[in-house]
A = this chain, B = another copy of it.
Amino acid sequence: MGKPNILERLAAGEVIIGDGSYAVTLEKRGYVKAGSWTPEAAPEHPGAVEQLAIEFSRAGADVTQTFSFWCHEKSLPKGCKYSCDEINQVSCDIAKKIAKKYGTITAGGLSQTGNFARWTAKEDVQKDLRRAVNILVKNDIDLIICEYFRNIKEMEWAIEVALETGKPVAATMCMGPTGDEEGVTVGECAIRMAKAGAQLVGVNCLFDPPMLLEVIKDMKTSLDLFNLKPYLMVQPLGFMCPDGGSYGWVNLPEFPFACEPRQITRWEARKFAREAYDMGVRYIGGCCGFEPYHIRAICEELRDIRGRKIPESSDKSDYDLSTHKELESKFERYKNKGSEQWWKDMAPSTGRPMSTPFCRQTEPTCVHRAIFKK
C-alpha cells in the first residue's frame, strides 16, 4: 500500500504545486550557461543542483523535476566531460534523493528533439524521445511531462511514447494565444493533447502568467465543448513580456542578460496562482524565472484550499504580513506594508527614468493597435 500517486491525488481534489526554474536560476548562481542552457551542472556540481531542489521542496513544491532539460549530445558544450546518459542519471539521483527526504513526486521531461523540424519522420523523432524516456523509466520517475513542444504533431508523438511507460503523462505546449508554430489554435492543441491520452494538459514557458492564463481559458472552453476532462496545468515564465511576439521572451532584446526589470514579484505570483485556481487549473507551477520564493508564494496564496498547509520555508516569509503589520504600527515608512491588497495592487516602479514598458524593437503601431483589441 504505497502513497497515492499524482492522479489519485488530483482525483481526490488536490491542487498540485510544481517547482520552478532550474536552468535560469542556476545561471545566476554560476552553474549554467546562457545561450546553451544545458544541464551538465548536475554531474559537475551536484551539490548546487541539490541545494536548489531542496529550496523548491522547502518552498512547498509537490514535485521535484529532474534537471535534464535540453540534454542532447550535440547541444552539450565542447569538452563536456559527461554524456547525456551520465547527466540524466545524476539528475535522477538528485530528484530521487529529494523525493525521499521531502515526499515529493518526481517528474521527468520529454521535450523538442530538434529532429522534428529536420526529418519530420515519426520513427526518427520517436527514437530520440524513447532514448530520453528510458532513463526516466529505469529510475522509476513518477510523472512524465511532455513539455516545451512548439508543434502539436510532435507533441502527439511524444505523448504516444510517454504513454508506453505506463506512468501518468502531462503535456504542455510552449505557445501563446496565437497557437502552435504552424498556427494550430490553442483550442485544437488542447483537444489533440487530451485525445492523445495525456492526463494533464496545458502550457509552459515563453509567455508570462497573464498571457498563459488567457491561453488556458481558451483551452478550457474548447475541452469543455468536446467534453474532454484532462486536468489543466500551467507553468508560465517568471518575467513579464507582453511585447515578446510569437516566440515570447526569447524575442526580447533583453533576453537573456537584462530581464531583471521584468521579473515577477511574489505578489504577481500569488495573483497568478489564485486566478489559475479559479479557472480550474489543478497543476500550478513555474518555468524560467520562477525562483523558490515564487513557488512559496503560490503555496501560501492557496493555503485556504490546501488545508491551511504552509511550506517549510514559510517560517521566514511573513506570508500573513504579521511582521510588517507590526512594523507598520511603529514606523511611518512602513505605511500600508501590512496590507496584502496594497502589495497586490502595486505597479512597482523601476528606478530607471529611461526605461519604457515595451521594448523599442516592438513596432510601435503594432502595440498601439493591439492594445485596442479588447
Please list the residues of chain A having a beta carbon within 8 angstroms of any beta carbon in chain B.
Answer: 27-36, 41, 47-48, 51, 54-55, 58-59, 176-178, 207-208, 210-211, 214, 239-243, 245, 247, 250-254, 257-267, 291-293, 296, 311-313, 315-318, 323-324, 327, 333, 336-337, 343, 346-360, 362, 364-374
**Smallest CB separation, A293 vs chain B (Å):** 5
A351 and B260: CB pair below 8 A?
A: no
Least Cβ distance of A104 to chain B in Å? 15
Q: Which residues from chain B contact A352 at a C-beta distance below 8 Å? A: 240, 262, 347-348, 350, 357, 364
| New contact pairs (10) apart from A32-B316, A33-B316, A34-B317, CB-CB < 8 Å | A30-B296, A33-B318, A260-B263, A260-B265, A348-B355, A349-B355, A352-B357, A354-B364, A354-B367, A366-B374
Contact: B30 with A59, CB < 8 Å? yes
Task: Sample 28 A-B pairs with CB under 8 A, ordered by A number.
Answer: A27-B316, A28-B292, A28-B293, A29-B55, A30-B312, A34-B323, A35-B327, A207-B372, A210-B369, A211-B372, A214-B369, A242-B353, A243-B351, A247-B333, A257-B267, A257-B337, A257-B343, A260-B260, A260-B261, A260-B348, A347-B354, A347-B355, A349-B359, A350-B352, A353-B357, A354-B362, A371-B371, A373-B373
Q: How far is the CB of A314 from chain B (nearest CB, A)?
A: 8
Q: Which of B41, B240, B333, B365 contacts A350 (CB 8 A)?
A: B240
- CB of B355 within 8 A of CB of A259, answer no
Cβ-closest chain B residue relative to A343 = B257
- Name which residue of chain B comes closest to A267, CB basis: B258
In the complex, chain B residues whose CB is within 8 Å of the CB of A266: 257-258
Cα distance A28–B349 in the bound complex, in angstroms = 20
Could you tell me the distance between the alpha carbons of A333 and B85 in the complex, rounded to whole angstroms?
32
In contact, B55 and A372 (Cβ under 8 angstroms) = no
Chain B's closest residue to A59 (CB) is B30
Rounded to whole Å, the gap between the CB of A359 and the closest CB of chain B is: 4
Q: Are B371 and A243 in contact (CB under 8 A)?
A: yes
Shortest Cβ distance from residue A68 to the other chain B in the assembled complex, whole angstroms: 17
- By a CB distance below 8 angstroms, the chain B residues around A247 are 333
B214 near A291 with CB under 8 A, answer: no
Contacts A263-B260, A263-B263 given; does A357 touch B346 at CB 8 Å: no
Instruction: Tell me how far the C-beta of A199 lies from the nearest C-beta in chain B, rounded to whole angstroms.
Output: 28
Contacts of A48 in B (CB 8 A): 51, 54-55
**Taking CB as reference atom, which chain B residue is nearest A260?**
B263
